[in-house]
Amino acid sequence: MKIVVLGAGVVGTATAYFLAEDGHEVTVLDRQPGPGLETSFANGAQISACHAKPWAAPHMPAQAFLWMFQPDAPLLFKPWRWDPPLWSWGLKFLRNCTDARAKTNMARTLRVALYSRDVLKTLRQRTNIQYDQITEGILHIYRTASEFANGRATATQLAAFGLPQNVLTADECVRLEPALAHAAKNDLAGGLLSPEDESGDALRFTEELAKLAVARGAIFRQNVTIRSIEAANGRVTRILTDKGDEEAEVFVLSLGSYSPHFARDLGLRLPVYPAKGYSITVDIEKPAAAPTISITDETKFMVFSRLGNKMRVAGTAELAGWNAALDPSRVEPLLRNAKDLFPAVSNYTNVHPWCGLRPATPDSVPILGATRFANLFLNTGHGTLGWTMACGSARIIADLIAGRRPEIDIEGLGMERF
Ligand SMILES: Cc1cc2nc3c(=O)[nH]c(=O)nc-3n(C[C@H](O)[C@H](O)[C@H](O)COP(=O)(O)OP(=O)(O)OC[C@H]3O[C@@H](n4cnc5c(N)ncnc54)[C@H](O)[C@@H]3O)c2cc1C
């Protein structure tokens, strides 16, 4: 079957791989010169099922209000801007800020994230794909006793849904990750270890997986900008691009934050809004002073991942439209915290800043599956966890297209929930 995948981020590329493995004739369209060059380029590098807690939660409306007046807040939100897509997304977000919805959304996300981690592990065993992966878990650190207590409460919920975490004292954190010794002197209340989680370079993975997909017959058409999608009689008929039209029997929409712009051509209203995030990547000059295990600083809302001889620091979220411009003032908190936690890693003169637009849904659950167009499937809206959920989501879409029953329950993952 001829299948066109729209988008060559980590999600579209993984989709293309599993479809090519099934023997389909796959073409991927992307406007960048290579795969993985937009939001999948320099993310936090974590395969973190442990981050399945949704943003929308009972405490969030009050918290977001306070953050509005804090320029370096981890989540920046300016509802007074003229931005109807944000208002519509924000209302749906508010509806998800109940205890019951937060639990349901956590369970749905965790279902995909845990499955995806398994699919990634199997893929790695079968293909020996290399992407600076580290499989020693993710360590969450807390600076204050009350935050640590909140973290333990979340851990109890995650454990009930199948993700166990180990509670560690500050000393145990340092024994596990000696690079935290400096932090322990200042403020470290304790930590939680998610032993089965991982880290690795999403860009390198995407590039390597694209090669494996090509080896299975997939074609990646890069530097091709999609203009619109056409449909007739309940089926998508063709994709119009700046380099000619593309026809196929089946289409998969994986355009990250840009998915709603093209779904709109078909009358589909996808509640995906860009949540801009930042990262810095620094060269490691003193390897012993750099963390090996991937770390989430739960107090500062930042993650640290080691990628070979580099350290990636990522965080912050800004709901400010489809604006991919880099604001140096948002990089500053990342740099400050990196110097504070790991002062000896680098002299921090050679720092590569980056920002990307997370395709966020109001309930933090991705949008996967069929649509009212018989030959159009959605694989988008992965928000903060697109790297974590890419392989599992792709496998689910390949199963649906093949007419196989997906290996996990897909209840609550489709767009019908909106
Ligand atoms: C700072 C930051 C840290 C993060 N950390 C993590 C993490 O630690 N773990 C994790 O799991 N996730 C993390 N994420 C989230 C993750 O990076 C995203 O969810 C994921 O990259 C989304 O992948 P995607 O393929 O859906 O989107 P993208 O990678 O953006 O891919 C979409 C593709 O569509 C193409 N495209 C768009 N419009 C057009 C058009 N008109 N024509 C042709 N092509 C088009 C783009 O070129 C792009 O390649 C982080 C994100 C950020 C910003």
Q: For tokens 């943003």, name the residue.
A: 55
Q: For tokens 């931005």, name the residue.
A: 83
pLDDT bucket at 186, cuts 50 / 70 / 90: confident
Residue 369: CB within 6 Å of ligand 1?
no
Q: Are 386 and 361 in contact (CB under 8 A)?
A: no
Determine the Cα–Cα distance for residues 11 and 2; give it in Å rounded to an integer: 19
Residue 274: CB within 6 Å of ligand 1?
no
Residue 42: CB within 6 Å of ligand 1?
no
What backbone phi and psi angles, to 5 degrees, belong to 211?
Answer: -65, -40
- Which tens digits make up the pLDDT trace of 352-375? 999 999 999 999 999 999 999 999
Residue 69 reports pLDDT greater than 90: no
Which residue would you say has higher pLDDT here, 276 or 76? 276
Residue 416 reports pLDDT greater than 90: yes
Residue 182 reports pLDDT greater than 90: no
Residue 184 reports pLDDT greater than 90: no
For residue 9, the CA-to-ligand 1 centroid distance in Å is 6
For residue 359, the CA-to-ligand 1 centroid distance in Å is 7
The reported pTM is 0.97
Residue 296: CB within 6 Å of ligand 1?
no
Nearest C-alpha neighbor of 21 from the set 296, 149, 301, 212 = 212
Residue 254: CB within 6 Å of ligand 1?
yes
